[in-house]
Amino acid sequence: MEKITLGKSKLEVPVIAVGCMRINSLSKVDAEKFVQTALDEGANFFDHADIYGSGTCEEIFSEAVHMNDDVREKIIVQSKCGIRKGMFDFSKEHIINSVNLSLKRLKTDYLDVLLLHRPDALVEPEEVAEAFDELESSGKVKYFGVSNQKPMQIELLRKYVKQPIVANQLQLSITNANMISNGINVNMEIDSSIDRDGSILDYCRLNDITIQPWSPFQYGFFEGVFLENEKFPKLNKKIDEIAEKYNVTNTTIVVAWLLRHPAKMQPIVGTMNIDRLKDCCRATDIRLTREEWYEIYRSAGNKLP
């Protein structure tokens, strides 16, 4: 498995991250098989959040991986906090309490990475800084990042937080590619030229923040997958054509499309299907040509100026 450095950290991570949001849909036996398959593939970076399954996903994962000191040294664990029912909460109290509960469920003493999960309109960055300092000094969290935040929100945090922001988890797929499209359609009076995120792609590249694309197979906001979907005939035809050329599956090509971008992203793949997980991991062996990358981009309805 190819590896990259996560942001400005000293953490070497696989380019494919395993999302555990749906691990509670598996039986105990299947969860063990799934986690072991990920490890066999070299995908030892596992992404969690305190809200996934109301905490049960972290519990199921710790059981499936048979968490102990020896296992812990071989895996990288990331979790997120900040989403509460009907609200967001980046208060010091909530951040620290959420981490403590995650650690208990995961049966570990520390998280490799903690992300703030979506922006909190009432964020007081001074409190976030205090929480990060306490978690770092106690050894409970090694590195910190954010999720779904735009440049000025990150800049506000950076004014007070001394730790580097190493990652930003953002929705990105072939069909949800506005962060790419608005950078192509500069100075155009069309919808795809609208900058909806403050040029977050360029900002993260300039500041060495690793983008972690979530829902790489989804279109819209959890409306469904675009692969083998009759709503996207041209896109699927092109993906299948390129998949046949490389003798891989369409799943592999979708992930390879993200990995081809020079931002050195780390896609979060959320499949719980062992074969599809393997297909995702095979993407690290393929480098699409510039022509192929743009062909896929255009086949999704994205236009070039």
| Residue numbers annotated as active site | 52
What residues contact 42, with CB distance under 8 A and at least 6 apart? Answer: 1, 14, 281
Angle formed at CA 204 by CA 156 and CA 287, multiple of 5 degrees? 165
CA 68 to the chain's CA centroid: 25
Does residue 89 contact residue 116 with C-beta atoms inside 8 Å?
Answer: no
Q: Which two tokens stand for residue 36?
A: 């072991």
Give CA–CA dist 172/260, Å, rounded.
14
Q: Which of 33, 38, 2 is nearest to 19 (CA)?
A: 38
Q: How buried is 280 (Cβ within 10 angstroms: 0-12 exposed, 13-18 middle, 19+ buried)?
A: buried
Residue-wise DSSP of 217-271: TEETTTTEE-TT-TT-HHHHHHHHHHHHHHT--HHHHHHHHHHTSTT----EE--
Q: Print the SS3 string covering 14-80.
A: ECCEEECCCHHHCCHHHHHHHHHHHHHCCCCEEECCCCHHHHHHHHHHHHHCCCCHHHHCCCEEEEE
What element of type H or E holds 178? helix 178-184
